[in-house]
Structures are given as C-alpha cells and as structure tokens.
Amino acid sequence: MKRISLTQYLVEEQRQHHSIPAELRLLIEVVGRACKTISHSVGKGALGEVLGALESENVQGEVQKKLDVISNEILLEANEWGGHLAAMASEEMEDIHPIPNRYPKGEYLLVFDPLDGSSNIDVNVSIGTIFSVLKAPEGMTEPTEKDFLQPGAKQVAAGYALYGPQTLLVLTTGNGVNCFTLDREMGSWVLTQRNMQIPAKTKEFAINASNQRHWHAPVQRYIGELLAGSTGPRGTDFNMRWIASMVADVHRILNRGGVFMYPADNKDPSKPGRLRLMYEANPMAFIVEQAGGMATDGKKRILDIQPEKLHQRVPVFLGSRDEVALVTSYHQEAV
C-alpha cells in the first residue's frame, strides 16, 4: 500500500476540496512537528528528567508537571516564527500569547492544551496534545482575548496527538477525520486511517465514577440505567472504561464507539463543568461530529456555545450519537 505523508494528504485535500490554504497547511505541519518533539520528550521519561511536578500552578490552579511546561514551550517556540499566526492561547497560560513583533503575522489563531491527562504522566499511561485553529477576525490589528471567543463551529481545523504505544495524530479540517501514525525511524506522519466513523450505538461509557455522589439527577438516571445492565430498562450490559486522559478516552470512542461524560455536578457549584471549552471541548466536539458522533453540554450542541472567556468551563457529553442524544434528552426533560 502506498504510504501517504501528512504533507501529501494536506496538499491533496486542498486540490480536491479547496479547504486547506497554503498558510493553514504549513501551520498544521508546524503543529505536527511540535507534537513529534513532545512525543520524544514523553518517550524519554525519567531518562530525560522530565517526570514529576514543579512548585508552580497554572492559571487553572492545578499543579504543573514538568512535561506540562516543556510541552507548552515547545508549541510556543515552534509556532512563533512561521508567519501563519496572529496569536496563540494555551490552557497553561492566563493570557493570550501574541506573535512577537520580530516575526511576521498570519491570519490564524492557535489554541491548545499542551499536555492532556497530566495525572497519567508519571505512571506511563497515554497522554496527549489537543489543538484548535480559528481564523482571526477581519480587520484585526492587535489580537486580544476577545478575538479568540468564537463558537466552536467556526474552527477551521482541530486535532490531537496521542502519545501511547504508537504516537498518533488525529486531524479534521472540516472534511472528515483522519489518523496519522508517527514513523519513528523516518520521523514522518503517515496516514493510517481514513474517514474515521463513530458507531451510532455502543455498549461502553466513560465517566469518573468517584464523583457519583455529586452528580445531578439526569446523570444519576442515565448511569443508573446503564449499570442495571441486561435486567434493567436498557436491556443491555454496558462496560465502563475510564483512562483519565480525554485524548485517550476520545480516541477509543473514535475507533469502537462509546460515550464520554464529564458532567457538571454539585461538588463545586461555582464551576459549571470541569473541562475547558476552548482547549478541550470545542476541538474534541469538532472531531467527534466530523466522525458522525454528537457532542453536547447536556442541553445544547457544544459547537454552538458562544465563549465568554478564554478559560471557560463546560459540561461535556460526546461520542456515539444515540447515547449522547439520550443523556441530553434527560437533561432537557429536567429543565
């Protein structure tokens, strides 16, 4: 079988669908190269002295791992000089990162979670990088936070890298979802899965069950029905899978179906959800919808949410269409 590189795929997509201008193609390639560098650091582990936590906290109030900071720096440095971006925003930084004046400016905005699933770093469980690309507003001169606050439906590209037994890059530019595997010997991304599709039905779900006592009634109802198994109202035995790394959980769902949930709950009523809209929910919702799935906040489509701030949190229900539609209907009935 002919091996197709990431560059060849992007060029052919532009020829067929006119959806990937040269500047966007180069931006995606630079992000891909940065993810290769992060993969190398992750793979070194203790040998590279990159494990463990720092004494600092990020803007989310979370203790930063060494690899969080390293990955953030890799993405910033890789994307500053190319001329494709006007600014970047990272889950690890409070404010946006404008492109320094010494470099040319581009027409895109890059948003990323440099290392998703940080709690898994030191125990050698799969982690990843999530990214989203937006078009800078027309007439923008000096980028501000407001320029980033666009609904997820306006994303022009989104993807994630998964650092596991293989290093993978999953990408959408609005014309389906494709998966590339890093050929470590050649140092290149090779297309290994085309047009990934999430099965509409599933027997698997992913949720942090330790929060059960805090869940709202619609989630209690839905999970209760799943756990009742073949003798319950669903008449089917469901399995729970939870990796505590959104990238790894979503990748499993892309390949064999399932529903991923991180609902709002009563544990901390001041937080409307756990996951960040801009850095996690929007790019993953874009990917899931492009793969035939569904993504809501329990009441409405995630990609229709108008962001109000850069680090906004939202509840997330995404994956196989039938299950997401059902748990969403339970929330809508409870209003």
The mean pLDDT of 231-247, rounded to a whole number, is: 96
Annotated binding site for substrate: 116-119, 208
pLDDT, residue 28, reads 98
Span(s) in the chain for CATH 3.40.190.80: 204-334
Strand 239-240 and strand 127-135: the pairing is unpaired
> What is the 8-class DSSP label of residue 279?
I
| Complete edge-to-edge strand list for the sheet that includes strand 259-262 | 239-240, 204-206, 259-262, 316-319, 294-296
pLDDT, residue 49, reads 77
Q: 3-class DSSP state for residue 241? A: coil
Pick the closest to residue 91 from 108, 114, 71, 117 (CA basis): 114
**Which of 187-201, 261-275, 288-302 has the weakest average pLDDT?**
261-275
Span(s) in the chain for CATH 3.30.540.10: 6-193
Contacts with 114 (C-beta within 8 Å, 6 or more apart), sequence order:
38, 68, 71, 72, 74, 75, 90, 91, 92, 129
Query: Confidence band (pLDDT; 50, 70, 90) for 51?
Result: confident
Annotated binding site: 91, 113, 115-119, 208, 280
pLDDT, residue 56, reads 63
- Which CATH number is 6-193 given? 3.30.540.10
The DSSP bridge partners found for residue 260 are 206, 318
CA distance 272 to 297: 10
Annotated binding site for Mg(2+): 91, 113, 115-116, 280
- Which CATH number is 204-334 given? 3.40.190.80
pLDDT, residue 61, reads 58
Structural contact between residues 296 and 315, judged by C-beta atoms closer than 8 angstroms: no
